[in-house]
Amino acid sequence: MKEALRVLAAGDHFVLPSLIKEAVGRESARPCDVRELTLGWPLEPFGRVAEVEEASDAEDVLIEALGDREVLVTQMGPVTERVLAAATGLRLVVVCRGGPVNVNLDAAKYHDVRVCFSPGRNAAATAEFTVGLLLAALRRIPQAHDLLARQGSWEGASYYTYEHGGLELEDLPVGLIGYGAVGSRVARVLCAFGAQVMVYDPYARVEIHGLRLPSLDELLARSRVITLHARLTDETRGLIGARELALLPPGAVVVNAARGALLDEAALCDALEDGRLSAAALDTYQREPLPPGSRLLGQGLAERVVLTPHLGGASRAVAEKAAAIAAAEVGRWSRGEPLAHCLT
């Protein structure tokens, strides 16, 4: 009989350890001894832990739980140099995310640990959420709801006046910055609405749903709405700042459900406060959780902003897909097959 595969399913309150355990059991070529660990995210925010980003502050807990485990499947576990050095039996780490930002890849290579990730698990959910944010901002749905449901006021009917009426997607020039798994889905949905979709992505090598523009400046100058879908890199950090926002037509709308650091929040607030932008809808921020003193939370902007706490990928299907994609990598490793999404 084959020796049992020793796995730690270090899930959280979203990607449940039980989902990982069930998925690994289906995929593994060996019997599985799966130990479950529940980390605190999203009830406890992630952040930088030692030398890795976007992880749960749980090095000691993870080290104790790993013990003699040879496989770790996790979403927010901090796979730091310290954790890797302590887990001497560990040979495979699979992260239930689009990238292993919570893993020290250099240390993993040094300790002869393979590292895999789970691309595409939240593309559909984030695309749908982006379109939801866009519709909410264009038609002031949250503001009208708040007036009627929370305050019992019919004042939201003022949004039916010509002066305060919202924009509709049909024939609206919408610019997408980035055309990966999320951006391409958003483009298809917006085309179905009849929007005039324009795309700027110098790295996209696929057919575009919409009009591909050669420069970011041209896209900004022609767009009544922009949505951000670029990856966060040294090149894209602060991609949309005061200069870029000034290129948008008066009354434009900005939507960001990608990464907060793509957008200069101070410049965005300036443009909203002076009326150059009519609205913004954000799901991600430069600092998370959003600080209580953030200008975005000020009463002066309440009519112009739609804010959600990084919920773009928050669907049950995403958790199930993440566990399944990660488990498929464990299955390949257990059978000695090439890994599909491996970085070390």
| Residues belonging to the active site | 259, 288, 310
The candidate with the shortest Cα–Cα distance to 329, out of 94, 114, 103, 98, is 94
Separation between Cα atoms, residue 233 and residue 101, nearest integer Å: 12
343 CB contacts (<8 Å, ≥6 apart)? 100, 105, 115, 116, 117
How far, rounded to the nearest angstrom, does the alpha carbon of residue 32 sit from its chain's CA centroid?
31
End-to-end alpha carbon distance in the chain: 30
Q: What is the dihedral sign for C-alpha 299, 305, 306, 307?
A: negative
70 CB contacts (<8 Å, ≥6 apart)? 5, 6, 7, 89, 90, 91, 92
Please name the amino acid found at residue 35: R
Write out the H or E segment, with its range, that includes residue 5: strand 5-11
